[in-house]
Structure 1
Amino acid sequence: MELDDPEPGPGEVLVRVHAAAVNFPDVLLVADRYQVSVPLPFTPGSEFAGTVTALGPGVTGPRVGTPVAGAVMTGAFAEQVVVPVTGLRPVPEGLDMVHAAAFHVTYATAYHALVTVGQGRAGEWVAVLGAAGGVGSATVDVANRLGLRVVAAASSRERLEVARGLGAEAGVDYVHEDLKTGLREATGGDGVHLAVDPVGGDHAEAALRALRRGGRFVTVGYADGRIPRIPLNLVLLKDAVVRGFEIRMLRRYAPQAVAEGDRALARMVEDGMRPLVSRVHPLAEVAAALIDVVDRRTTGKVVVEMTGGA
């Protein structure tokens, strides 16, 4: 069925999508397991890169033909998407469309979980759970570039090798090893200063137990599918700080921090940082792309390309 081209309204921009990344919340939205339900029918996809093709009333830029990247709640797995102009940003110099689509959500999440929320400092030990996934691999990459010492935690030796390639100093296979013990041993027995957890499930409590006194724990998401129930006495006994991070709320309540993070990430891209993209699907295979993420068959990011795939 052929549909008419969408038209941007006031404050909106029409973008021809070249590539869109698959993020775990996309899977949750399709399964109606996300924190917010979306009425049916809807087109999934939340992160994209493309070119501006039309401006809505009252919008003065970016100009038609400008390469942009952006984020929406839904709608990115399509040839065209209408998005508020405030949801767009320039494509960082040096990124092609596939890597631009895969960049901002995970790398902004990584930066702010480590810096804005986690207060990470160079020389500190940070545990990164799910270290070969989309958010995890970005967190390992950014932490290494900021001078933190990374202990990667992942579900296999092969996935730990991916994290080591991004700069992890040590690794724990939490399927075959005790996570708390492994994190403590990797840091010389003292434990980590900071833990970033996009996984949840049983691993969250183990990582919290591996914090040194006064450590910080940042919960980012629940790829495990289970929201952990943390005994509060652990927080008390460790004098620990537990904080949540959700990127949409940060954009709303801390725009200055978001701008600072964007500038820091742009500098890292200039220095050669690129998101790990392990698989690219054509638009016709979007269901397979979502299944790849659900089944954790890939590392880094999965991308849907509108003109074909590799």
Structure 2
Amino acid sequence: MTIAPAVVPSGAHATEWIPDGPYNLAGTVGTLQCGAHDPSFIVQGPDHWLAFRTVDGPVTLLLRQRGPLNGSRIHATAWGAGAASALESLPRLLGADDDWSAFDSPEVRESLPELARKGRYLNPGLRLPASGRMLDTVARVILEQKVTGLEAKRAWRYLLARYGDPAPGAGDIAPAALRLPPTAEQWRRVPSWEWHKAGVDSKRSATILKAAHVASGLERLSTQPGGDAVRAGLGSIPGIGVWTIAEVVQRTHGCPDSISVGDYHLAAYVGAALTGRRTDDAGMIELLEPWKGQRQRVVRSLYASGFRKPTFGPRLSPEDHRAR
């Protein structure tokens, strides 16, 4: 991994990150996006626009991949008070700390299920990103608790549009819709009727408010390895359980072993991919046990293979309680 100087536009900071080996920007950072219409993460062709806050202030970050899969460069341009800080943590965000060498070793590769081997072969540039953005990620994942993805994405868009701030100026090139996620104080100011309009029930909104009240402690967890201390810190917040913890550390710490136990779809998906039959959480854990320590990499490789489990019956439909 190498950081190289780059041409700096007026009023901005810029750098280039040169990954070791194959790299896929979209596949790596895509998990940080809350749907295709996420106001804090907008993709326009090769341009990936992110808006977030750092310890030094807000930042607008533009990422572009240049060159082929092997030998590519990631060009990063940042605007705002947090620009320098964002570029300093750029390699971690892009998955530089995520080492797949053991997973790619002949011994492990030969032990993998066929679909996982296929997924890794088709996507050798996949990394697990580590954003370090605790409150943003916790709030987003709480919105996803026990609802459809459609409902969660809509709630995120609505709340950012109403309570997030415009992203720092990047001239005329940044998308006008780009917005920062709310600060802890802004989350605390969301009134009950706005949560209702966003389609967020009282249990999820209360959990987000509890997280906002301990935001400084949450952010300190970003500097720790994604192990027991981080899990214990997240789990100390009422309303945050094992599924939420797993979904958070996958994104904030790039945890290679974090499995979303309690997910509505995952256990059935893993069972269908590995055995041809659906299974429950206990069955999923048993199936993935041979690759403990690498289980999230196995799951990501299964998804990257293109496999989709058979579907039966009508799809779960969201319920809209906002007019009640």
TM-score (norm 1): 0.25
TM-score (norm 2): 0.24
Q: Which has a greater percent of strand?
A: 1
